[in-house]
Amino acid sequence: MTTSNDRLDRIEALVEKNARAIDKLTDDNIGRSNERLDTDEKCMRWMMQLAFALLFLATAALIVNAAAFLVRLLLLNQA
């Protein structure tokens, strides 16, 4: 009886040790995943800001060119 109780205790200790190791690995993986998601979110936000800035600059350039063209046209018609 004692041998089976000792054996059972060793098995239970081994199972508990493995369960703690799995919990630690799971927590580490969740932490890494959260870090990656945070990094991806920041990158996506930066890319969106860059895209809107480029759209704004392109629109401003078109407006300035159109205004310059209209001014030239008015000056040519007056001459």
Query: What is the DSSP track for 5-47?
Result: HHHHHHHHHHHHHHHHHHHHHHHHHHHHHHHHHHHHHHHHHHH
**Is a pLDDT exceeding 80 seen at residue 69?**
yes
Q: How far is residue 32's CA from residue 24's CA, in Å, rounded to a whole number?
A: 12
Q: How far is residue 32's CA from residue 69's CA, in Å, rounded to a whole number?
A: 55
pLDDT in tens, 17-40: 988 999 998 988 999 999 999 999
What average pLDDT does range 42-60 have in this prediction? 98
pTM (2 d.p.): 0.59
